[in-house]
Copies of this chain bind each other. A is one copy, B any other.
């Protein structure tokens, strides 16, 4: 193949993306031998792949499973998505391998805010890049709708409980039907069971005490962790007071909005393995506690079913393609701090079946490998049962120079000359960061390939230094690639290295077993992965650990909320710091998603808009109707 018409300098992402006519998505699906009944076209360039494909292929063997992670990045990013896309173009278009790229759906916040889109870049992109960066097939919008319906239900329920007697609540919650008899809605049976009430057919038979327990969730407003969400960078919604209309009778409450991708529902979408599994997880989400300290769930509010109905279509991954006609499954995009930062389990499962035993699924883990890859292994693989065959770690000379002591790299500011001129020593010094990531990855019992994402200013000596350090640290291979400028052609060596790595034997293992205590699990990650000497728990964290243990959530895996800019809690500590104390400020339970989130410092859950956001450039060309200015 190699149909791309390369230009130097590399044109803008949208210009490249629009210069390639996408192959009809039905043809992409046909090459993957997807049944017509499992294929749901959304126009001619997008399609949803229904989960029924897994039933149809349940006896087919899986392909090779490759996770792409990165070293500790600069704020400019090291090209992890671009590498993921580029190496798939290489494997599909140059190496004749069946390959599926699994990648996260970008949030619209950055698309219109600061960062721009996230469909790869240069000659390694997912197309149509505008569809990828905008609504796509509506999954994120479905999450917004579901998340906010639950939020509305919480405040409305507290409002109704505050003004109604047990009898009034009871007669409204279990209204008399046409025949005059009251009945429970099916979703109420879960609450009855949880309360230990054995009467499940006739509501009238509940004792007054049971009735009161049943109708009153008695939510303690101080404990509510459920926030509203929006897929927009709206900083003024970070902290708000709601309920200030006279119609709400003074029941104001301080709360706020996060960006949609940080919703627990997004994490659930990424971790669910089937529609019934998603139903369970959505119903089990804990939104806060009752005043008696019992967790209150979405099913207690009667909402698990409706949330599943809202999320039903979103559970099907979206099929797109790369610039070189290889298939891409775009699905879910959980935040990598408050959630696990990986695309969906079902997309990976579908991909592995579709490529078959000689094929490859290349899936990306967000943030640095200390976060994204760690969560890939210990959360995503734990829930999916899948075992990776190989890990790829993306490194750049730029980031390694920063880790070696180079001046700060700041988005929107000119890059220091250090990053444009040769400085082998600085690169070598900075390789400590890469080495630590390699050591971490090897603990999972799989081979590690280093992808050195080459920039025009990198010199051979610098690139050689990275290769040497990688090999010394036990990497299976370390290869230079230049897919941004040359698409798949630039990542052929990387593709070959992955193929060779996947032929190695593996002994996959988790970093920690689930039956350790919460603190032991946190410490395993902090010491083994981050290099911390110890962990310090602030009082709020101690309190939450005790509470969650008591509530029976102690057996969940851990999802650390930590900066991606350092192994430590201090974003300024570059390289491979060690001997530090990792502070745990607080803990949150994402019971539906199935993990506990220790907070290492403050996490920003709602970005803001700068003075001149990306949207100034974005418009429709009135003649062609094409989108311009998307980056």
Q: Please give the distance in Å from A592's CB to the nearest CB on chain B.
A: 16
Q: Is the C-beta of A465 less than 8 angstroms from some C-beta in chain B? A: no
How long is the Cα–Cα vector from A166 to B598 in the complex, in angstroms? 43
Q: Does A310 contact B (CB under 8 A)?
A: yes
Q: Which of A130, A138, A620 has the most CB of B within 10 A?
A: A620
Q: In the complex, which residues 577-631 of chain A have their Cβ closer than 8 Å to any Cβ of chain B?
A: 608-613, 615-620, 622, 625, 627-630
Whether B312 contacts A619 by the Cβ 8 Å rule is no
Question: A43 — which chain B residues lie within 8 A by C-beta?
Answer: 40-42, 48
Q: Are A306 and B242 in contact (CB under 8 A)?
A: no
Contacts of A312 in B (CB 8 A): 620, 625, 627
A80 at the interface (CB under 8 A from B): no
Query: Does A203 sit at the interface, judged by CB under 8 A?
Result: no
Is A344 part of the contact surface with B, judged by Cβ < 8 Å? no
Stretch at the interface among A232-240, A480-488, A537-545, A553-561: A232-240
Determine the chain B residues whose CB is within 8 A of the CB of A241 once the complex forms: 240-241, 244
- A625 CB contacts on chain B under 8 angstroms: 275, 312
Within 8 A of B (CB), among A131-181: 134-135, 137-138, 141-142, 144-145, 148-149, 151-153, 155-157, 159-160, 164, 169, 172-173, 175
Interface-central residue, A175, A247, A276, by most chain B CB under 10 Å:
A247
**A53: interface (CB < 8 Å):** no
Question: A445 at the A/B interface (Cβ < 8 Å)?
Answer: no
CB-based contact A231/B135 at 8 Å: no
- The reply to whether A175 and B612 contact each other, CB–CB distance below 8 Å, is yes
Nearest CB in chain B to that of A45: its residue: B40
Query: Nearest-CB distance from A334 to chain B (Å)?
Result: 19
Residue A294, interface by CB 8 Å: no
Query: In the complex, what residues of B have CB within 8 A of residue A611's CB?
Result: 157, 160, 164, 169, 172-173
Decide yes or no whether A248 CB sits under 8 A from chain B: yes
Question: What is the CA–CA distance of A236 and B630 in the complex, to the nearest angstrom?
Answer: 36
Closest chain B CB from A12 CB (angstroms):
12
A193-250 interface with B by 8 A CB criterion: 228, 230-245, 247-248
| A312-348 contacts to B (CB < 8 Å) | 312-313
Q: A142 to B251: give the CA distance in the assembly, Å.
A: 31
Q: How large is the interface on A (under 10, 10 to 19, 20 to 34, 35 or more residues)?
A: 35 or more
Q: Judge if A309 is at the interface, Cβ distance under 8 Å.
A: yes
In the complex, the chain B residue whose C-beta lies closest to that of A36 is B44
Which of A152, A230, A248, A276 counts the most B-chain CB atoms under 10 A from its CB? A152
CB contacts (< 8 Å) of A310 on chain B: these are: 134-135
| Cβ B236 vs Cβ A152 within 8 A | yes
Interface membership of A511, Cβ < 8 A: no
The answer to whether the Cβ of A108 comes within 8 Å of any Cβ in the partner chain is yes
Question: Judging by beta carbons under 8 Å apart, are B615 and A305 in contact?
Answer: yes
- A275 contacts across to B, CB distance below 8 A: 620, 622, 625
Contact in complex: B234, A313 (CB < 8 Å): no
Are B134's CB and A309's CB within 8 A? yes
Decide if B135 touches A142 in the complex (CB within 8 Å): yes
Question: Would you call A256 an interface residue if the criterion is a C-beta within 8 Å of the partner chain's C-beta atoms?
Answer: yes
Q: Which residue of B lies closest to A606 (CB)?
A: B245
In the assembled complex, the Cα of A230 lies from the Cα of B616 at a distance in Å of 24
CB proximity of A254 to chain B, nearest CB, Å: 7
Contact partner of A234 (CB less than 8 A), chosen from B112, B148, B309, B627, is: B148
Residues of B within 8 A of A245 (CB): 235, 238-239, 256
Alpha-carbon distance between A130 and B309 when the two chains are bound, in angstroms: 9
- 8 smallest beta-carbon distances between A and B, as pairs: A305-B619, A141-B141, A152-B234, A306-B615, A238-B245, A156-B609, A239-B244, A239-B245
- Show 19 A/B contacts (Cβ-Cβ < 8 Å), sorted by A: A41-B42, A42-B43, A138-B141, A141-B144, A148-B232, A149-B232, A156-B235, A156-B608, A159-B235, A169-B611, A175-B612, A186-B619, A187-B616, A228-B234, A235-B248, A236-B251, A275-B625, A302-B616, A312-B625
Q: A153-B609, A236-B243, A306-B619 are in contact. List 4 more A-B contacts (CB 8 A).
A: A238-B248, A302-B615, A305-B628, A309-B630
